[in-house]
Amino acid sequence: MITLKNIVKEYDGKQEGSKAVDGLDLEIKKGEFVALLGPSGCGKTTTLMMLAGLLKPTSGEIYFGDRLVNHVEPKDRNIGMVFQSYALYPHMSVRENIAFPLRERKMPKKEAYERAREISKVVQIDHLLDRRPTQLSGGQQQRVAMARALAKNPEILLLDEPMSNLDARLKLDVRDEIRKIQRNLGVTTIIVTHDQEEALAISDRVAILNGGKIQQYAPPNELFTQPINLFVASFLGNPPMNLVDGVVEEKSGNQVVVTNGFEYSLPESRKLDREHIGKQVQFGIRPHDISITTGEDPRGIRVKVDLIEHLGSGKLVKAIDSEEKLESMIRLLADNETPVRSGETIFIRFRDDKFHLFDKTAGGLNL
Ligand code: ATP
């Protein structure tokens, strides 16, 4: 449905070599919901604006189906767009706002208003058609913006941080709502967000961007469990993945990751090729993949509980290795029933197979 081929975008006046988008390839299937996710300045909005036709790529090709659209005007692209600010016209009623893009296309008033009524039902604001945007709550304004974007029956819906002005609770409702509407209408949708929870919850696939480049493009679960590199691994997850510097060594036939605080023997199923022996790595393990024993555990790693944060659903435990040689604390999750107290010594184990090893000499590639 949508193909981006080797897209580069350099803004005028920027220093040479600094590309907002740098060789981006992306394919989006018909009806798919895709999120562009990444830290501030990674090129998400620039990419969305190029899809909308509001910006032209410096080089590369954008196809909708097999039609090259690089030079097609925004109004001829058959897209609907919802901006972070909603950009509703304050002097118009909700009905007029929704009908506006249709009226622009010279649709007769009666027909445009009928279509506005129809689509307002889909987003459940048909009782608000006579109001002005200023007389609506944030969530209602958001729905009006959605209705306006969908009025033309676009093939593609582009959403730029559409929920960032909503409070946390409402965000969850609106998120479900957007997903439902998208599924019902089958419209191919691309959302830009810096909220990873939102991106993972709502999308079929997520493209993680950094420095104008795609780091990984995969379904949410795969990104989380099989991050391709250190950037993706450390960007996703809250609380974040634990990362500890280490070296891969061979000890009496076993492969062992030796760190300043512990040694971890790799299970047979995860043995590395011999070329990796001696390599500098980062050992990564997510907080929920660490188990705790409060009693003596000869096979566990002895640590001291430094801080406990109550999360409601459980506790986040921050522990330091008993000899205090690790550069950072180890974060782990415990359920509310586990009796841990700060200052106490506990034993931890990493759940088999759940660890990651990132090659420090190869840009943090997951081995
Ligand atoms: P955010 O989440 O902060 O909105 P983003 O991922 O959407 O960030 P972009 O807005 O696409 O990032 O910006 C990518 C890079 O391009 C940034 O380094 C930014 O400073 C630069 N940039 C964006 N717009 C312009 C512009 N009009 N002129 C020059 N540089 C720009």
pLDDT beyond 70 at 317: yes
Give the list of residues 6+ apart from residue 132 with CB closer than 8 angstroms, or none: 90, 91, 92, 93, 94
Pairing mode, if any, of strands 188-193 and 156-160?
Answer: parallel
Q: What are the pLDDT digits (tens) for 8-56?
A: 999 886 666 679 999 999 999 999 999 999 999 999 999 999 999 999 9
% of the chain exceeding 90 in pLDDT: 71
Which of 45, 210, 214 to mutate for ligand 1's pocket (most ligand atoms within 8 Å of CB)? Answer: 45
Structure-token pair, residue 201: 């919850």
Which of 42, 56, 194 to mutate for ligand 1's pocket (most ligand atoms within 8 Å of CB)? Answer: 42
Domain spans, the chain: 2-227, 242-366
Q: What is the pLDDT of residue 32?
A: 97
Domain spanning 242-366: CATH 2.120.10.30: no
Which of 44, 51, 83, 209 to mutate for ligand 1's pocket (most ligand atoms within 8 Å of CB)? Answer: 44
Alpha-carbon distance of 200 to 282, in angstroms, equals 25
Q: What are the pLDDT digits (tens) for 184-235?
A: 889 999 999 989 999 999 999 999 999 999 999 999 999 999 999 999 999 9
Q: What is the pLDDT of residue 347?
A: 93
Looking at per-residue pLDDT, the higher value among 190 and 296 belongs to: 190
Q: What is the ipTM score, two decimals?
A: 0.95
Q: What is the pLDDT of residue 255?
A: 94
Looking at per-residue pLDDT, the higher value among 60 and 361 belongs to: 60
Q: What is the pLDDT of residue 15?
A: 62
pLDDT beyond 90 at 323: no
Strand partners, 244: 283
pLDDT beyond 80 at 165: no
Ligand 1 pocket, residue 44 CB under 6 Å: yes
Q: What is the torsion angle, in degrees rounded to the nearest 10, for the CA atoms of residue 250, residue 255, residue 259 and residue 262?
A: -120
Ligand 1 pocket, residue 41 CB under 6 Å: yes
Secondary structure (H, E, C), 204-224: CEEEEEECCEEEEEECHHHHH
Strand partners, 292: 348
Q: What is the pLDDT of residue 14?
A: 61
Ligand 1 pocket, residue 108 CB under 6 Å: no
Q: What is the pLDDT of residue 37?
A: 96
Atom 18 in ligand 1: residue holding the nearest Cα: 41
Domain spanning 2-227: CATH 3.20.20.150: no
pLDDT beyond 90 at 116: yes
Ligand 1 pocket, residue 89 CB under 6 Å: no
**Which residue blocks in the chain are alpha helix, DSSP H?**
44-52, 94-104, 109-122, 138-150, 168-185, 196-202, 220-225, 230-235
Q: What are the pLDDT digits (tens) for 258-294?
A: 999 889 999 989 999 999 999 999 999 999 999 998 8
Alpha-carbon distance of 321 to 167, in angstroms, equals 39
Looking at per-residue pLDDT, the higher value among 323 and 55 belongs to: 55
93-107, 274-288, 299-313, 321-335: the lowest-pLDDT one = 321-335
Confidence class for position 139, pLDDT limits 50, 70, 90: confident
